[in-house]
Structure 1
Amino acid sequence: MAEELDRLSALPLEIKTSILRLLPIDDAVRTSALSHSWLYVWTHLSSLFFNLSFPDDPDLLQAWVEVAVYIISSLRGPLIDFDLCYFAQSYASEDLFRFLSLIFQKGGLQTLSIYSTGCSALIQLPYFRSLRKLYLCHFHLLLPDDFQGFEHLEDLSLYGVYIPQQDIQLLIDGSKNLKTFQGHVESDEVRTLSLTFNSPLLTFVQYYFIDSIKEVRVINAPLLEKANVSACIGPGSSEGDCALIAALTSKFMVDVAAVSDLSLGFEILQCFSQDAMSSALRVQFLQLRSLHLEGIVSCLDEKVFATFCCLLRNMPIVETLEIQCFDHPGVREGLVEPDAFKVSECIKKEDGINCLEQSLRRLTISVTNSINIVVMGMIHFILLNANVIELVEIIYRADNEVEPSKIEELNLVEKASPYVNVVFSSTSDLF
């Protein structure tokens, strides 16, 4: 054992630090007890990841804050990556400010990721000159004084972030090297935020439309390849809410019509299915090769199915179609099945979809316990009309024993075509 410990102690510093990078930070610090040669190895780390969960205990939380301050202060070199994920009921903005100030003093930060639930503290970012990736979730964000942009920022993700209009636009405009943007930004007022992307290097944009948004435009992004659009629409949403989301999304889709990969939430299709918004479906995606649809199964009805078919008509060369349905807790109890006759009649009406006849080669449909009539209608409709399809995967994920009727129905689909493969798995595979 002593010989093995000596071999471990004799490892070069670079290998020791590589080993510690694979450990949680508390375990990395504990390696100080191995031997004298390991005493300060952890202080050479350049990446820190804190994953914390606390009850509503301010004393315990404050004790951890002091430990974290000690760890950051003890690092001998620059801190390149900092990742903080916590689930406290409350969090003091001054503690976050302490962390960020210490990190700023170390210099060299390239990746900053801070995720929280249960609170929305204020973050005022220091002017991290070398920052390349920024991910913030559930915060009120203020930019540094005299901010002119993060010169090297490539990846910007803001989820549930409250930010003033002038700050969000300055952040986008000042990031000249921005390649990916994922956003769900909010304000305290309805329909006040407008975002404009004039980003020559942008390749991917994802946006989540909510009632704070007035407009999202992409006016210059020649390298844009992928777009993802979803929205916040609930059971209590009015027709006016749906019409607003459809109008905002329609303008946005015109701007990103040249992408080759598009993801849409079912909530968006639900908004588009309003009769008054049929004009929103006229966007032509002439270069689109991959279409992804996802959302909760309760959004699916015969109108959404018709909207889905309208979209396919405007996507003539789609090769890959992925549809992912999932449940939220309690969905099954309140789920109202669509009218089977209406869905059947809707399917009979739809024909002559170019991508199904000439280009669609791969179909993946992932469903959970609440698989409904519309989903089965999509499966049957595509299989009946897709002439050049080469592979179909239907993944049925159940959190308990699969119902015999579901097995029988899906097995019938599998027998209907030599290209269909039905997979049964657990919902745990999703995570």
Structure 2
Amino acid sequence: MKQREHHEIPCGLNIEVDTISNLPGHIVDKILSHLPLRDAVRTSILSSKWRYRWIVLPYLVFDNHSVLVSTQDQTLTKNKLVSIVDHVLLLHNGPIHKFKLSHKDLQGVSDIDRWILYLSRGSVKDFILEIWKGHRYKLPSSIYSCQKLVHLELFNCLLKPPPHFNGFKSLKSLDLQHITMDQLAFEYMISSCPLLERLTLMNFDGFALLNINAPNLLFFDVGGVFEDVSFQDTLHLAVVSIGLYVNSGIERNLAFGSTGNLIKFFACLPHIQRLEVQSFFLKYLAAGIIPGKLPTACLELSFLSIRINFNDMEENLAALCLLRSSPNLQELELLARPEEQVTARMASNASDIFQNFPFNQLRLIKIVGISGIRQELSFINFLLANTPVLERMTVKPSSVDSGWDLVKELLRFRRASMFAEIIYLDP
């Protein structure tokens, strides 16, 4: 009987297989940590030493990249997503430090309750839940037992902390977007996270007063509909971006004769370094008494961005107050709200508000969305005449209609800085 010939595996291929099989464990884990979960699971076929290596991964991410669902049937999609997450959690062996659930077809199903309960029994530090479809998903009470949390990110969720909730004692970063929560629960959660450093709030309802009490807060980003904002014990807060999405009822909570919003807002922000005033928030700051300068200067503020209606006298005064109160400002951005430019009219003596005041550190200015009206040009003229170290002013109008006339006006303005460059950008 003829014997079967023995074919040797090429030497080079042997070396490649051995190299993959004999990689140190920490290198394998590093490789797996950079792969989508779907691909990490597939590495089991590489060699016996890689088989089920993924089950000890501490970072589990279920998103559009790691979970592919090809069917258009909503029920099948939901069942497949649930099956995948269940399968991974069933096989997983070891601590889970990060759990992210964010899939375009994900809805607030009851199965999420089970997964959160499972995670609450471990040591999850980073939890991200984004519900992209359907109504607000009510978080189960077990989420409030995750006391190892360092980062919590929620999208389209309803938060109702239980009475025994004492805050997240390890939490440093909180990101809440499209959430519902009542006023007392919101205030208690913020004040009961003593290590909180970063807070993001976007499109929220259930509370309208942003009372922020966070002694270690460094970063605050908020955008939504609210009535008032106040800071308490936020002496370390350095970066603030705040946008008010409505343009009505701003002064209704301002008591007669009370301190204006400008002074109140900056009272607990002595170390602010970067400020973005977005949407209609400048109108909020302009409510009440507007001083020429703040009682305490913002000595560390180096970047200031303001969205402004140049035709509104109070907003102009508020913006000028901020500028005069920021002696070390280096970069300024002014964003016009052109949709309002025709709805308000400045007084005939409006140019009197632009009294000479040198901004000795201001080097970069960017002005966007202007249309060439008199008040805009007066503001630009004022800035050029009072910035002795200005290096560059960039101007981008809202349309091309008055472009050439605007350029001619800009070129004739006197500049305090002989090195100042004016750059015109097409809209």
Q: Give the TM-score normalised by structure 2.
A: 0.76
Q: 1:7 aligns with which of 16, 19, 23?
A: 19
1:323 Cα offset (Å)? 1.6
Would you say the 8 A contact 2:370–2:397 is kept in 1? no
The within-5 A match list for 1:237-256 is: 237-238=247-248, 241-244=249-252, 250=262, 253-256=265-268
**Structure 2 spans left out of the alignment, 5+ residues:** 1-11
Secondary structure class of the residue paired with 1:158: strand
Q: Are the equivalent residues in 1 in contact too, given 2:303–2:330 (CA < 8 A)?
A: yes
* Residues 292, 323 of structure 1: 8 Å contact kept: yes
How far the C-alpha of 1:385 sits from its partner, in A, is 1.8
Distance 1:245 1:266 in 2: 19
Aligned equivalent of 2:113: 97
Instruction: Report which of the two structures shows the higher radius of gyration computed on alpha carbons.
Output: 2
| CA distances 1:344-397 after superposition (whole Å, capped 9, x unpaired) | 9745741223xxx14333324274xx55337666554322221233x3363869
Q: How far does residue 68 in structure 1 lie from its aligned partner after superposition? A: 1.8
Tell me the secondary structure at the aligned position of residue 147 of structure 1. Answer: coil
Q: Which residue of 1 aligns with 2:9?
A: none
TM superposition shift of 1:171: 1.6
The whole-number CA distance in structure 2 between the counterparts of 1:6 and 1:324 is 61
Give the CA deviation at 1:128: 0.9
Q: 3-state DSSP class of the match of 1:109?
A: coil
1:75 aligns with 2:92: yes
Match of 2:194 in 1: 176
Report the alpha carbon displacement of residue 127 of structure 1 after superposing the two structures with TM. 0.8
Give how far 1:140 is off: 0.6
Pick aligned residue for 1:224 from 234, 237, 245: 237
Partner of residue 114 from structure 1, selected from 100, 105, 129:
129
Cα distance in 1 for partners of 2:111, 2:158 equals 14
1:318 aligns with 2:328: yes
1:251-266 → structure 2 map (5 Å cutoff)? 253-261=265-273, 262-266=275-279
Q: How far did 1:10 drift? A: 2.1
Match of 2:387 in 1: 386
1:28 aligns with 2:40: yes
Letter in 2 for 1:168: F
1:317 and 1:359 in contact (8 A); partners too: yes
Counterpart pick for 1:154 among 168, 172, 196: 172
1:24 Cα offset (Å): 1.9
Whole-Å Cα distance in 2 between the matches of residues 167 and 70 of structure 1?
A: 35
TM-score (norm 1): 0.75
Q: State the shift of 1:164 in Å.
A: 2.5
Corresponding position: 1:132 with 2:143? no
Contact 2:335 2:367 in 1 (8 A): yes
Tell me the residue number matched to 2:102.
Answer: 85
The answer for the alignment partner of 1:429 in structure 2 is none
1:196–1:219 contact (8 Å) kept in structure 2:
yes
Q: Percent identity at matched positions?
A: 19
Match of 1:418 in 2: 419
Could you say which residue in structure 2 is the equivalent of 1:351? 355
Q: Rate the CA distance shift 1:127–1:286 in 2: closer, same or farther, 3 A.
A: same
Instruction: Give the CA deviation at 1:207.
Output: 3.7
Q: Secondary structure at the match of 2:78?
A: helix
Q: How many residues align?
A: 394
Q: Counterpart of 1:159 in 2: which secondary structure?
A: strand
CA distance in 2, matches of 1:56, 1:267: 42
Q: CA RMSD in A?
A: 4.0
What is residue 360 of structure 1 aligned with on the other side?
361
Contact kept, 8 Å, 2:229 with 2:265, in 1: the verdict is: no
C-alpha deviation, 1:101, in angstroms: 1.8
Question: 8 Å contact 1:81–1:110 — kept in the other structure?
Answer: yes
Q: Which runs of 5+ in 1 are unaligned?
A: 427-431
Shift of 1:253: 0.8
